[in-house]
Amino acid sequence: MSLLYYPGGNHFDAEQVGYSFSRNYICDSLSTWGYNGQRNLVGSRLAAAAFLSFIWLALLPVWAFLLNELIRSKTFKWFMVFLSIFSATGLSLLPLKYQLELPIGHDLIVWLAVIPTLLASFLFVMTGWRLRLFPPWLLGLASCAVLAMFADLGVWAVRVLTHAEPSILEPVLMKLAMMLVITTVSSLAFLPRFEVARPSAAVI
């Protein structure tokens, strides 16, 4: 819904009308201004509300609490909880930067958000494979999401370090990773329930 209110423009074409799936970044929908210079107040607030709701009501429970009863190691359990909260907080800075006009650089927020998110997601997937907690198709979907996130971070990091111009590959990989994450989390919440086998030696 928030995308319908985005006035237009992107890094590649400031005159573009509306929001482009392949050319606009996710952060563009969170910004209170469009690349064409017009206000994006309604769209940015809708995007921020959706973004924050998904982080704290979906991602955080999946990361920190879904494996809580299945992991016996208290150290690893609390590490996952801490990392998940740190990741959710970092991701929350993205919409809050624009809504509250926080004096924090965009690239710094990206690093604070992406690095712990990737680590939390990677550990979640690896734990799932190791303990055989979920069906293979779901773990495969989650693995693809993590790979897409790593690919997007790699392309972005190379561009920043080489001071090159952004390419369309960046927003495309970003949207691909986002869709895979949403599909994975939605599968856990909305698809028919499946039995989670409790391993006899669930020790990390």
Express as a percent the part of the chain with pLDDT over 70. Answer: 89
Q: What is the pLDDT of residue 192?
A: 59
User: What is the per-residue pLDDT across 3-57, written as a single tens digit (0 to 9) for each?
Assistant: 899 999 998 999 999 999 889 999 999 999 999 999 999 999 999 999 999 999 8
The tokens for 140 are 């495969």
Report if residue 26 sits inside a domain.
Answer: no
Domain containing 130 equals: 53-188
The tokens for 115 are 């690095």
Report if residue 3 sits inside a domain.
Answer: no
User: What is the per-residue pLDDT across 57-102, written as a single tens digit (0 to 9) for each?
Assistant: 888 888 876 666 667 788 888 888 888 899 999 999 999 999 998 8
Report if residue 152 sits inside a domain.
Answer: yes
Estimate to the nearest angstrom the gap between the alpha carbon of 116 and the chain centroid.
11
pTM: 0.84
Q: How many structural domains comprise the chain? A: 1
User: What is the per-residue pLDDT across 107-134, written as a single tens digit (0 to 9) for each?
Assistant: 788 888 888 999 989 988 988 888 787 8
Element (H, E) at 50: helix 41-54
